[in-house]
Amino acid sequence: MENNKTRVLVVEDEKNIALLLSFNLTKAGFEPECAYDGEDGLRKALTKPFDIVLLDIMLPKLDGFKVLEGIRTRSDIPVIMVTARDDEKDKVAGLENGADDYITKPFSMNEVIARIRANVRRSRDELITKVNGEGVITVRGLSVDRTRYIARRGDTELELSKKEYDLLLFLMENVGQPFSREELLGKVWGYDGFLGDVNTVDVTVSRLRKKLEKDPSNPEYLITKRGVGYYIQ
């Protein structure tokens, strides 16, 4: 595994707070990345595989509520809103499908770290529950039914070969986590060491993209992480 650290996107325009958060989160074993305005925050949240977002409300370009709205059109990633005032807190509490949690400024680092851990754990538990309960893993409309060997995008069943299905299932089980081609050869094909040709992985990825992506050259689900490998987001 390349990296098992929890990746935290910190969207915060006050640089001193962002840096303080980033410093302490790194010290606590997380992998933080900062965005200093709402537009950049939304772009990063939608294009990179984070585990959780810490989202300030008062932000330049796009406020936290708009960023959250944008994130929710594409992703179920846990979002903790950071509020500065009581009226913001009420607004967050009133959001229906929005934030998973909120923290009020000024906050203590220990509180932030505890909330991040709790929310990441809960979201992972939910994913596992989904898998165990019905045998179906779903990522934004893309689903794999493990007991019946069926993959669907929306209501459409995808016609996958055995290896395409195995690869998709493995990446969906580890959503957000990139794997190198060598790792995939081991995990999905059962080859280890010097057996097998990594091009096999590329060929299967490319076939799979043609079947599940609307635009295979601009994938929404099966993403290439440059220099690392592939993951499902």
Give the angle subtended at the CA of 66 by the CAs of 73 and 93, to the nearest 5°. Answer: 95
Minimum distance, C-beta of residue 84 to Ca ion, in the bound complex (Å): 7
* CB nearer Ca ion, residue 58 or residue 136: 58
| 3-state DSSP assignment of residue 124 | helix
10 Å CB burial of residue 30 (0-12, 13-18, 19+) is buried
Structure tokens at 141: 């409309």
Structure tokens at 112: 């932030």
- Closest-by-Cβ residue to Ca ion is 58
Cβ neighbours, 10 Å, residue 95: 16
Q: Which stretch binds Ca ion (CB under 5 A): 54-62, 70-78, 104-112, 114-122?
A: 54-62
Should residue 58 be labelled a site residue for Ca ion when binding is judged by CB under 5 A? yes
Q: Look up tokens 């993209």; give the residue.
A: 209
Give the residue with the Cβ less far from Ca ion, 13 or 100. 13
Q: Contacts with Ca ion in 11-30 (CB under 5 A)?
A: 13
Cβ closest to Ca ion, residue 81 vs residue 184: 81
* Size of residue set near Ca ion by CB under 5 A: 3
- Nearer to Ca ion by Cβ, of 63 and 202: the residue is 63
62 CB-near residues (< 8 Å, 6+ apart): 37, 38, 39, 41, 42, 70
Stretch that binds Ca ion, among 9-17, 64-72, 146-154, 169-177 (CB under 5 A): 9-17
Does residue 56 belong to the site contacting Ca ion (CB under 5 A)? yes
Q: Which positions touch Ca ion (CB under 5 A)?
A: 13, 56, 58
